[in-house]
């Protein structure tokens, strides 16, 4: 039997959770980029002059979409139980904490809920990425 015909086992549950965290974060960023694009067409650029001009808005949309796609790709790497997603995933979680903590302490209701969700997701991702199961799967030789 060749390796092409072998069915790979499903990923361990912890990798499924890590993949879900990365995918949800990525889809949220991509969704926010799409929302910004729709709002730019519908309402135009609004807000302070420094950030409400056309190039800044396009830049924000592109950055959000690229980071979102990157996180979805990282989620795919976790789903396939690869080693490479660990560092970029950890970096993304640290960035989420830097953004989420101030949002979680904001006065607004929706903003605060989004911030709390970001912090909880980022902390869960950081804890899981350093869990013994994930670390052991990277240090043990693969079973063939």
Does 2 score more than 60 pLDDT? Answer: no
**Listed range (18-22, 41-45, 102-106, 132-136) with the worst mean pLDDT:** 41-45
Residue 3 has pLDDT above 60, yes or no: no
Q: pLDDT-derived band of residue 42, with 50, 70 and 90 as boundaries?
A: confident
Given this model, what pLDDT does residue 6 score? 59
Residue whose entry in the numeric block shows the structure tokens 């804890």? 127
CA pair distance 117, 111, nearest whole angstrom: 10
Could you tell me the two tokens for 77?
Answer: 């790497």
User: What pLDDT shows up at residue 15?
Assistant: 93
Q: Residue 16: pLDDT band by 50, 70, 90 thresholds?
A: very high
- Computed from CA positions of residues 62, 68, 71, 77, in that sequence, does the dihedral angle turn out positive or negative? negative
Burial of 21 (C-beta count, 10 Å sphere; 0-12/13-18/19+): buried
Structure tokens at 20: 């879900």
Q: How far is CA 42 from CA 15, 46, 61, in A?
A: 40, 11, 15
């Amino acid at each position: 039997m060749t390796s092409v015909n072998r069915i790979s086992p499903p990923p361990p549950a912890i990798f499924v959770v890590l993949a879900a965290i990365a995918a949800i974060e990525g889809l949220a960023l991509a969704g926010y980029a799409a929302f910004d694009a729709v709002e730019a067409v519908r309402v135009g650029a609004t807000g302070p002059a420094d950030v409400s001009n056309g190039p800044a808005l396009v830049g924000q949309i592109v950055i959000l979409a690229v980071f979102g796609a990157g996180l979805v790709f990282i989620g795919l790497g976790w789903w396939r139980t690869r080693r490479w997603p660990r560092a970029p995933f950890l970096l993304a979680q640290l960035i989420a904490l830097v953004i989420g903590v101030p949002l979680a302490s904001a006065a607004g209701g929706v903003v605060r809920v989004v911030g709390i969700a970001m912090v909880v997701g980022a902390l869960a991702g950081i804890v899981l990425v350093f869990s013994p199961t994930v670390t052991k799967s990277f240090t043990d030789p693969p079973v063939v």
